[in-house]
A = this chain, B = another copy of it.
Amino acid sequence: MPPPAAPETADGVSRWDRKRAAILEAAQEAFFANGFVGTSMDQVAAAAAVSKQTVYKHFSDKETLFREVVTNVVQVRDGGISPDIFSSGDGSIEERVGSFARGFLRGVMQPQVLKLRRLVTAEAGRFPELGQSFYDLGPKRAAEQLALALRDASAQRGTTLEDPEFAAEHLLSLILSIPLNRAMLLGDHIAFTDAALDRYADEGVAVFLRAYGLSNRA
């Protein structure tokens, strides 16, 4: 539904946008605390200090609201991976892929991203469409974008990746899986230092580049 013609306020944010943001914030908290089934549109309206009618004006149903929460949270960790991140700019390919890997891993390991992943995993048996949103906007999109970047980096070196998307998924597996699995199974009290996360990223990248013949090192 398009927003009604709302006058902008002094800070340039319309009342419509402010309400939308309040609803999304309240919804995220409610979903994290009570799960998808345990959250009602009534609760969200109350927590956002708006009417239930207003919630429905912004989001037609609970699934739509959830999907917007996923979009919001996943965007935090992923500003878009451009196709030239590995093939242009300064530094060796080790440095470029390493820099991407460190940043991406830190994003994935942010508490609210982990909470969301846990939530959609928990509900995936009953509500696979929630996990599908997370998967499409998160791992799938990242792998597709990374595949383009890896294809360009290979082409620049005169080689061809047989299956860039498979390669991208291997890279993501090598960077993310060890700390991510631990966090998922051992709970939110497991904290990794930045140095520990950087080591997972660096070691994963080194294995990837060696295996795919993209390393300058022996």
Contact = CB atoms under 8 A, between A and B. Distances in A.
A188 B121 CA distance: 11
Contacts of A118: 121-122, 124-125
Interface in A119-146: 120-122, 124-125, 127-128, 131-132, 134-135, 139
Interface stretch (A55-63, A88-96, A201-209): A201-209
Copies in the assembly, this chain = 2
A188 B131 CA distance: 11
Contacts of A212: 207
A134 B203 CA distance: 26
A19 interface: no
Interface size class of A (residues with CB under 8 A): 35 or more
A67 interface: no
A151 interface: no
Interface string A164-195: 00100110111011100110111111100000
B187 A124 contact: yes
A15 interface: no
A210 interface: yes
A140 B209 CA distance: 26
A190 B131 CA distance: 12
Contacts of A190: 128
Given A122-B122, A181-B139, A211-B211, A128 B173 contact: no
11 contacts: A115-B125, A118-B122, A118-B125, A124-B186, A128-B187, A132-B185, A132-B186, A169-B177, A169-B178, A173-B173, A177-B177
